[in-house]
Each structure stands twice: as structure tokens, then as C-alpha cells.
């Protein structure tokens, strides 16, 4: 029996050319493993060159579509786009209110379509939409995805301000709703004016600003870009991804779609459908005005891939010595107490043990001491990246490992060019409380494919002997274990057995 795919409801207009609208939504959702159900707001007569006619559906039919779907299956996410009349705007608002009241976890992506494209200028919106759309839809939207023209029409604000100034001017909207705004097209803020070959979409919320930058493409076949981006975002949300991960993936997907556009008709053709985003070159470049992590111009020192494999993470010198004696060639010393009176001596001992056993020993967190005593490498979590002096670590010649918990953090780590990227947590873990949900094997496989041949990877979190083969077979370079050795009845035997198990599990990957 097949696993039921996530369900996405797409509310919008039917495009007779199938370049955009609900037809583009259907193709995008299917490409990303979702089942798209449609609520038609209007029928349009259009081709690649023009929009000739827009005919709203009768209000009774619009309402009946919502009720009929609601009587059968709930969506995992909703995407709303073209609403061609004030009556349909109000009706859509009523249905969204009902759903958000009864099922508040269902997220709504609102793409306020007002024109077929910036090039043609063919107007699709038939109502004075700005105030009406915001009054009726804003309270129920989790994210709004306008381009520059649409943003100005909706709010009356200029889209040319720097992101921080724009955030301040949007305070009235943040007071009325928890919605985040994705301002598309690389046209917002002074940062973009410095690099004409870069385009940045700014995600602006009440407390956060994040830019998702990418190469500005000179693609001709761009019809349906807004539809595709917003539906991809809804699809990744429907798959259960955290919002920032879903946003990162949607941006990677749209880059692939633009690069694979198809010429159909005399005008601009539709985007391609590139499949699940597994090309690391498509990941966006993250821009965070608040406490930015500066990209590193040169990669950190490389790992010895032949010495990657079973990767014990231990909290004492005694445990480190034990696993190294059993033949482990990569390990990490993680001392949780920064006030440990013997901290510096322990780090010094760890460095010496690594040299004695010709192993890649990483020090967790304490990068200053790691530099002082000449450690092979240091491992940092996401929160540590803003505090550590990455340039100093690199100058010292140390390797750098970075923890990640999804696509957003992988994109952040990519700009730093670390020696390896840790992927976690894969299963529920006993060693620490985690703010994120377990990733599972499917996501781990996607991450490993994305990073393969570019960055070495380490899987971590809740992995024991029973789970190790399946984890290793995803293609990661190392599998980190925390308790599988230290809580074993015979730790030495367990370590040797796990080393052998990893080698056997990855034999087909060699």
C-alpha cells in the first residue's frame, strides 16, 4: 500500500496556457510528492503572450468547492493566489477563518497575484485589491509572497527601503497579524544595489529579517515563477518542514525551475520542474542583517576521508582513550561544563591522544583552547557560529565541523565552507533536549545526496547498533554515536563491533 502524500489546497485561477495558475500549481505539487487539490476562483483565456479574458466563477460554486473538499480530507497546507472579485475575496476570508479557527496548525501561503507577469503587464486582478486583500486575507495568512509592484499596491509602502527600515514601516501589519512577508525579486534594500548579478528575496517578520540570495538569471521562460515559488513553499510545509527550511528549499527549487524553463508558444514559456532540490549550487545564499555570520573566502582544511567512519562523541579523556585504542580514527571530546577546573588540561590531553593514535580528534565548542593546544579540529553548533572567530580558527589550520538541523542551517554552513557538516538529530536522543524534530532516514538521505562530493557528512542523534546500517547506507561519511559505546556492558567489544558494522554497511558505497 502506498504512503499517502501530503495534501495541498491551491486556491486560484485556471490558466488556459498552463504556464501559470492552478496548472502550474498541479505540476509543482506533483513534482514535489504532494497531492494538489484545487479551488478555482476564475477561468482565464490566456496564452504565452497575453491575458484576453478573466471570468470569476459563481460565488455559490466557489463556496461549494471549499465545502466539498472539507467534507472529505483536510489539507496539510493551503496556497491562495488569484482572487478576482471582492465577493470572492470576502468568501475566501470566511473559509480561511473557519479553517484556521478549527485547525490552527494548517499554514496558509498567500501569493497576491495582480498581473500575469511584470513583462506583459496584463492585469488579472479585477478589484481594487490592496486594502481589501489585506483586510480580509492578512489575518489568516502565515506568509505573504508579493513582488515589488504587489507589495506597494497592497501596502502603499515603497519597496526600495533597506530591510530594517522596511520592517519598521510595516509595524502596523505586524501588529495586526503574525504573517511574515517574502518580498521577491532582489529589489528591496541597499544591499542588492551593490551586486547587479545577485537577486535577494527578503523574508521580513516582526522580529526577523533574512535574505535569500541567488544568482540573477537571464532566463526567458519565466512564466509562473510566483505560482511555482509559493506552491513549492506550501508543498515543503505540507511535508512537515520547518518554515525556514521550507523557504530555503523553495528558493533552491525555483532556481532549478528557472534554469530548466521550456519554450512553448511565442512569448515567455513556463518554468521547468526539476524535482526534489538535490543540487547544492541551487541553495540560496543567506543574508542576515542581524548578527551576520560572514562567509569564508577559502574552505577550511580538508578531512582525511579514509579516516572517517564510526565517530564516537565522548565526554571524558578516559572514554576518548578507550575508543581510540579500539581503532576509531575520528572522535570528538564534548565537555558540557565550561567551568570544569581541569578543562584546559583535558583538551591538551585530547590533542595528545589524537596525535598518538593518528586520529582526527575534534574539540566541541572550546575553539580558543583548541587553537592554543594545536587541536586537529573544532566542532561548533549553530549558536556558536555567531560568537566564534572563524577566521582565527582557519588561520590556525584547524578543521571545522558544523552542526545542522535542516536545509536552512545547511545553507548557512555552506557559506562557511567547513571541513564537514553534521546532520541531526536523526532519531530521538537521550543526551540533550532538541528544539527540532528528528530528521529521520528519508531526510538524511536527501541531505547526504545534496552534499555528496562537496562536503563530508556526519549523521548524529539517537543512533544505535540496530539503526547504524540503515544510517550508513544513506551515503554519509561518518556516523556519530554518543551512548551506544559508553552505555554498553562491554564498551571495548561494542566499539570494535560498531566499527566493523559501519564498514560492512558502507561496502557498497565505496
Q: Which residues are annotated as a binding site for Mg(2+)?
A: 365, 384
Grid coordinates standing for 46?
A: 490566456
> What sign for the dihedral angle of Cα 460, 463, 465, 469?
negative
Cell of 276: 526534489
CB atoms within 10 A of CB 312: 26
Decide the pairing of beta strands 478-481 and 35-46: unpaired
Cis geometry, peptide bond prior to residue 425 (ω within 30 degrees of 0):
yes
Question: Distance between CA 361 and CA 36 in Å, rounded?
Answer: 49
Q: What are the cell numbers at 150?
A: 504587489
Contact, 111 vs 230, CB < 8 A? yes
Residues 440, 405: Cα–Cα separation, whole Å: 11
Q: Cell digits for 402?
A: 558544523
Gap between the Cα atoms of 132 and 155, Å rounded: 11
Question: Rounded to 5 degrees, what are φ and ψ at 175?
Answer: -70, -30
SS3 5: coil
Q: In this structure, what C-alpha cell is assigned to residue 246? A: 521550507
Measure the CA–CA gap between 141 and 126, rounded to whole angstroms.
Answer: 21
212 DSSP β-pair partners? 201, 286
Total residue count of the chain as it appears in this document = 510
Burial state string for 108-146 with b = 16 or more CB within 10 A and e = fewer than 16? bbbbbbbbbbeebeeebbbeebbebbbebbbebbbbbbb
Local structure of residue 280 (DSSP, 8 states)? G
3-state helix, strand, coil in the chain (%, to 5): 40, 20, 40
How far apart are alpha carbons 32 and 20 in whole angstroms?
17
DSSP calls for 161-181 = S-HHHHHHHTHHHHHH---EE
Provide the sign of the torsion angle of the four alpha carbons 273, 29, 15, 219, taken in this order.
negative
441 Rama class: left (phi>0) / alpha (psi -120 to 50) / beta: alpha
185 closest CA partner among 220, 158, 213, 207: 213
Residue list, annotated binding site? 332-336, 364-365, 384, 403, 429-432, 462, 482-483
Amino acid at each position: 500500500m502506498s504512503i499517502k502524500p501530503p495534501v495541498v489546497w491551491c486556491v486560484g485561477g485556471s490558466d488556459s496556457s498552463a504556464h501559470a495558475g492552478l496548472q502550474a500549481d498541479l505540476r509543482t505539487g506533483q513534482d514535489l510528492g504532494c497531492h494538489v487539490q484545487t479551488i478555482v476562483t476564475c477561468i482565464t483565456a490566456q496564452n504565452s503572450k497575453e491575458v484576453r479574458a478573466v471570468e470569476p466563477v459563481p460565488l455559490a460554486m466557489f463556496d461549494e468547492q471549499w465545502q466539498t473538499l472539507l467534507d472529505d480530507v483536510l489539507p496539510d497546507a493551503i496556497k491562495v493566489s488569484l482572487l478576482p472579485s471582492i465577493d470572492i475575496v470576502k468568501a475566501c476570508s470566511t473559509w480561511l477563518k473557519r479553517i484556521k479557527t478549527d485547525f490552527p496548525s494548517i499554514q496558509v501561503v498567500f501569493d497576491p497575484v495582480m498581473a500575469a507577469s511584470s513583462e506583459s503587464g496584463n492585469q488579472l486582478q479585477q478589484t481594487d485589491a490592496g486594502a481589501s486583500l489585506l483586510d480580509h486575507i492578512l489575518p489568516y495568512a502565515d506568509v505573504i509572497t508579493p513582488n515589488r509592484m504587489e507589495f506597494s499596491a497592497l501596502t502603499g509602502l515603497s519597496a526600495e527601503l533597506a530591510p530594517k527600515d522596511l520592517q519598521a514601516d510595516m509595524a502596523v501589519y505586524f501588529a495586526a497579524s503574525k504573517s511574515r512577508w517574502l518580498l521577491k525579486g532582489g529589489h528591496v534594500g541597499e544591499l542588492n544595489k551593490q551586486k547587479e548579478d545577485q537577486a535577494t528575496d527578503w523574508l521580513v517578520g516582526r522580529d526577523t529579517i533574512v535574505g535569500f540570495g541567488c544568482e540573477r538569471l537571464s532566463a526567458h521562460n519565466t512564466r509562473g515563477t510566483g505560482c511555482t515559488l509559493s506552491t513549492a513553499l506550501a508543498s515543503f510545509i505540507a511535508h512537515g518542514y520547518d518554515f525556514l527550511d521550507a523557504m530555503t528549499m523553495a528558493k533552491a527549487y525555483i532556481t532549478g525551475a528557472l534554469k530548466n524553463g521550456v519554450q512553448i508558444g511565442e512569448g515567455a514559456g513556463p518554468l521547468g520542474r526539476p524535482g526534489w532540490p538535490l543540487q547544492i549550487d541551487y541553495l540560496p545564499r543567506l543574508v542576515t542583517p542581524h548578527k551576520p555570520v560572514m562567509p569564508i573566502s577559502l574552505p577550511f582544511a580538508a578531512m582525511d576521508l579514509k579516516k572517517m567512519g564510526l565517530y564516537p562523541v565522548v565526554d571524558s579523556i578516559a572514554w576518548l582513550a578507550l575508543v581510540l585504542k579500539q581503532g576509531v580514527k575520528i572522535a570528538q571530546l564534548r565537555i558540557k561544563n565550561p567551568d570544569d577546573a581541569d578543562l584546559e588540561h583535558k583538551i591538551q590531553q585530547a590533542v595528545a591522544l589524537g596525535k598518538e593514535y593518528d586520529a582526527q580528534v575534534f574539540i566541541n565548542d572550546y575553539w580558543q583552547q583548541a587553537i592554543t593546544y594545536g587541536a586537529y579540529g573544532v566542532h561548533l553548533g549553530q549558536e556558536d557560529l555567531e560568537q566564534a572567530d572563524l577566521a582565527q580558527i582557519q588561520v590556525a589550520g584547524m578543521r571545522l565541523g558544523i552542526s545542522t538541523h535542516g536545509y536552512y542551517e545547511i545553507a548557512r554552513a555552506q557559506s562557511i565552507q567547513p571541513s564537514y557538516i553534521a546532520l541531526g538529530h536523526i532519531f530521538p536522543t537521550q543526551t540533550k533536549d532538541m528544539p527540532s524534530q528528528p530528521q529521520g532516514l528519508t531526510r538524511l538521505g536527501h541531505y547526504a545526496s545534496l552534499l555528496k562530493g562537496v562536503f563530508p557528512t556526519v549523521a548524529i542523534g539517537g543512533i544505535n547498533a540496530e539503526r547504524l546500517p540503515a544510517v550508513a547506507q544513506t551515503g554519509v561519511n561518518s556516523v556519530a554515536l554518543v551512548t551506544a559505546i559508553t552505555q554498553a556492558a562491554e564498551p571495548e567489544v561494542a566499539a570494535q563491533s560498531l566499527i566493523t558494522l559501519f564498514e560492512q554497511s558502507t561496502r557498497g558505497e565505496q
